[in-house]
Structure 1
Amino acid sequence: MDLISKLEKRFGSWAIPNLTIYLIGIQLLGVALLMSGRAVLTDFILYGSGVVDLGQWWRLLSFMMIPKTLSPIWLFFAFYIFYLMGNALEERWGAFRFNLFVLCGYLLTVAMAFVNPGAIITNIFFLGCVFLAFATLFPHFELRLFFILPVKVKWLGWLTIASYLILLFSGDPGTRLSIVAALGNYLLFFGKAFFNGFKAEKRRQSFVAETRKVERQALHVCATCGVTDQDDASVHFRYCSTCGKCFCTEHIGNHNH
């Protein structure tokens, strides 16, 4: 039994079902506050110095309220896809494991705010980690880009990883820290599976190489002239009943014991 299974056995009753709905609800609240003018984006952003030096503890939660866009149409599709992915993960993993995945991602992201207190930490990569988990567990699920072009989600996952790696070296400090948190959370849940898969692939390649090596080895070799069944497939071979050696048909009758 792995660690997560042990934790689930002990704390499984604490899990919040349909957590995705609550995550969407938090962002909808942020959208309402921003669109109504009751708040501005700087009220929500997370940076460590604001929490520690200014005592603005609400930022530990408010950064989760920041939407990626305020366009109603794009918000609708973004929330719909996020709900689809989160619900699928919860059905596959169970509520506790999905809760733990979100909680670990949140805690790692918040921790990054105190690694560099002046850096602005975003929720984009934390929520993007949910997409990476979905792409890993449901790689053949198809999304339609621009509502026309069908693309398997695994390819979008690889593009997401590539963009994360690019930003990891070229982004601002807050972006880099947010990506470290997101990738750290992803590896926490999928790193072992990737490692085991890598070892299994190495074993498979080794087996294939050994099989090909055996296939290339000659099965019959004439003890007189050295011709093999690999040299000429039309040559026939016989084994001497006296000495037990292998000879081609040309030398089976005229060899010396």
Structure 2
Amino acid sequence: MNNFLNKLERKMGRFAIPNLIVWILAGYVVGYTLSYLAPGVLNYLTLEPYYILKGQIWRLVTWVLMPPDSSLLFAVIMVIFYYQLGQALERTWGTFRFNVYIFGGIIFTVIGAFILYGVMYAVYGVPVAGMGAFFSTNYINMAIFLAFAVCYPDMEVLLYFIIPIKMKWMAVVYGVLIIFSLIQTNWAGRVAIIMSLLNFLVFYFSTRNYKRISPKEIHRRQTFKSQMRQPAGHGGVTKHKCAICGRTELDDPTLEFRFCSKCEGNYEYCQDHLFTHQHIHRS
């Protein structure tokens, strides 16, 4: 996945939108404003495949303006909170990868809406409208939160501005709520939830370090440790070395190496371990 995104970024990185989270939250502000001044307009913005196929193609985009159902005070807190999360993720991943993550979630949600529309058409034999209620921006927000929790699991936030809690435990609570929603809702709701969060599932499973448990990787680590115990030879000098697997640019010229800003000390990691390693703290 990393190699694919690297190639894609080289070709299309110039089209990435900086500060994308600002534009998304600005859309929420527009949606909240419409909900107070002209609530009837929101009916023309929802993600409804029935009306999209009849020519209302703007619904493919305008559903992102639909604000989550909440009070104005909660909306203000949400905008501030998700602005911070979005900015942090963009700094961590880079503008292009953050764009891919957000737009991937939007595209998966649209595909899910049309899959649901097709299934319901096959079941009832007639076009069915009114599915916009199943798809909302709640899951875009949840995908941002879950991705941040995976990248910064030990970061603490103040729940209700009082209770300190780590992001990983909040993510566990979110996960339980998602599972509860999947159990409680009908099959149409399950399709909407799964497709809306598919970008997070792809991100999560693609960043797991499955190589660490493979026999080949275990053998390679053992070989590396035995070589490290031997006296240094006269091999070539390397500029980069992964603190986890020990690979250098001499092992694979295509490897990319970066220092981790969260580790205390100068620890450099290859592209396979940059986002999956456990941060080193001296204290």
Q: What TM-score, normalized to structure 1?
A: 0.72
- Identify the residue that residue 102 of structure 2 maps to in structure 1: 102
1:75 aligned partner, one-letter code: A
Residues 1:187 and 2:201 aligned together? yes
SS in 2 for 1:143: strand
- Matched positions, count: 202
- Identify the residue that residue 127 of structure 1 maps to in structure 2: 141
- Identify the residue that residue 38 of structure 2 maps to in structure 1: 37
Provide the rounded CA distance (Å) in 1 between the counterparts of 2:73 and 2:44: 24
Provide the rounded CA distance (Å) in 2 between the counterparts of 1:81 and 1:124: 14
Structure 2, unmatched stretches of 5+, are 118-127, 219-283
62 and 111 in structure 1: CA distance in 2 versus 1, 3 angstrom threshold? same
41 and 173 in structure 1: CA distance in 2 versus 1, 3 angstrom threshold? farther
* Range moving further from structure 2, 186-195 or 124-133: 186-195
Conserved? CA contact 2:154–2:168, under 8 Å: yes
Residues 1:145 and 2:159 aligned together? yes
The 5 Å alignment of 1:214-233 reads: none
1:137 Cα deviation after fit: 0.2
Residues 1:24 and 2:38 aligned together? no
1:153 aligned partner, one-letter code: M
Conserved? CA contact 1:44–1:62, under 8 Å: yes
Provide the rounded CA distance (Å) in 2 between the counterparts of 1:188 and 1:151: 26
Structure 1, unmatched stretches of 5+, are 205-257
Provide the rounded CA distance (Å) in 1 between the counterparts of 2:173 and 2:212: 21
Conserved? CA contact 1:112–1:181, under 8 Å: yes
Residues 1:61 and 2:61 aligned together? yes
- Identify the residue that residue 111 of structure 1 maps to in structure 2: 111
Q: Deviations over 1:97-126 (max 9, x none)?
A: 000001111100000111112433222113
Conserved? CA contact 1:48–1:116, under 8 Å: no
1:64 aligned partner, one-letter code: V
2:176 aligned partner, one-letter code: A
Q: Aligned-pair RMSD on alpha carbons? A: 2.3
Bigger Rg over Cα: 1
Provide the rounded CA distance (Å) in 1 between the counterparts of 2:194 and 2:139: 9
Provide the rounded CA distance (Å) in 2 between the counterparts of 1:23 and 1:198: 37
